[in-house]
Amino acid sequence: MNDILIRNNVKIKGEGSQVILFAHGFGCAQNSWQYITDAFLKDYKVILFDYVGSGDSDISQYDYHKYSTLDGYACDVLDIIEALDLQNIIFVGHSVSSMIGMIAAIQKPEAFKKLIFIGPSPRYLNDKDYIGGFEAEDLESIFTHIAEDYEGWAKEISPLVMSAPDRPELAAFLQKSFEETNPNIALAFAMATFKSDYRSELKNLDISNLTLQCSSDIMAPVSVGNYIFENNPRNFLVVMQATGHYPHISEPEETIKEIKDFISDYKSYDIPSKLLND
């Protein structure tokens, strides 16, 4: 157990008994949740961690083969759950961690109570009638830029995905997070993320889940949020006023409200109306 907690730099905070597990996105670490976690410490047990290769995890445990797909990262999540003997957890995943959480929940559904996806995408690449937001040449350009000039890529992409031009300190925070990630690991994580396609798995998630979709997000457009809603019968969709890909950083109050509304067992979130109509 201790090996896993050290490996993933697991931190446990809060006064409550209901567990919320926060899972960070690509190029980030658990400190990306610092803008919202204080709001949950009084009533919940908050668990934070870093994926292997991110933040203060044990980078010596990084395995390029294991983490070549999102399933390897889902193993990290399941290892933490097993090490801490967690049950009925609320999982909050940002970006790629949304699908990582879905994978873990499909493999061990008894451990999960609810899932919240912030800016999720089951596939980033456009495909026939599916609009993921990227063409193949777009992704190749991203991979090339990361491989050849990772710091330059981080500096260029951070303000675009943060989408808060009036608060440049937020983009600077994100850029610093990117730059603290080993460039080779960042490239491998980017490829595992952007080449993934978990659309067919959506129907297998039989746990109540919420998509927090930003009204404008170049990484995960509204079309993706709609696709998840239409293809998972237990999904709820909220299109936020927030823009960008990091609402938990740029618009923490709105993000906190939506998460709390969903996990507070409001009747409106008991069963999706689309499931009742089937």
CATH number for 258: 3.40.50.1820
245 annotated active-site:
yes
Cα 33–Cα 30–Cα 98 angle in degrees, nearest 5: 75
**Catalytic member of 32, 54, 57, 95:** 95
Residue 145 lies in a domain: no
- Percent of the chain topping pLDDT 90: 94
pLDDT at 278: 43
Residue 268 lies in a domain: yes
Q: Give how far the C-alpha of residue 112 lies from the chain's centroid of Cα atoms, to the nearest Å.
A: 16
Instruction: Answer yes or no: are the C-beta atoms of 95 and 118 closer than 8 Å.
Output: yes
What distance in Å separates the CA atoms of residue 264 and residue 20, rounded to the nearest whole number? Answer: 12
List of residues 6+ apart from 169 with CB closer than 8 A:
none
Residue 247 lies in a domain: yes
pLDDT at 111 over 60: yes
Residue 227 lies in a domain: yes
What distance in Å separates the CA atoms of residue 169 and residue 68, rounded to the nearest whole number? Answer: 32
Residue 138 lies in a domain: no
Residue 78, both tokens: 């399941």
pLDDT at 273 over 80: no
Residue 21, both tokens: 């597990």
Q: Give how far the C-alpha of residue 59 lies from the chain's centroid of Cα atoms, to the nearest Å.
A: 20
The model's pLDDT over 215-246, given as tens digits with 9 standing for 90+, comes to 999 999 999 999 999 999 999 999 999 999 99
| Mean predicted confidence (pLDDT) in 99-106 | 98
Q: How confident is the model at residue 2 (pLDDT cuts 50, 70, 90)?
A: confident
Residue 169 lies in a domain: no
Residue 157 lies in a domain: no
Residue 24 lies in a domain: yes
58 annotated active-site:
no
Counted domains in the chain: 1
What distance in Å separates the CA atoms of residue 236 and residue 227, rounded to the nearest whole number? Answer: 11
The alpha carbon dihedral of 276, 115, 217, 99 has a sign of negative
Please state at what angle helix 183-194 crosses helix 150-162, rounded to 10 degrees: 50
**Which structural domain, as residue segments, surrounds residue 229?**
2-123+198-276
**Catalytic member of 208, 245, 248, 250:** 245
**Catalytic member of 50, 76, 79, 217:** 217
- Rounded to whole angstroms, the maximal C-alpha distance in the chain is 52
Residue 145, both tokens: 């830029």
pLDDT at 85 over 60: yes
Question: Rounded to 5 degrees, what are φ and ψ at 122?
Answer: -80, -15
54 annotated active-site:
no
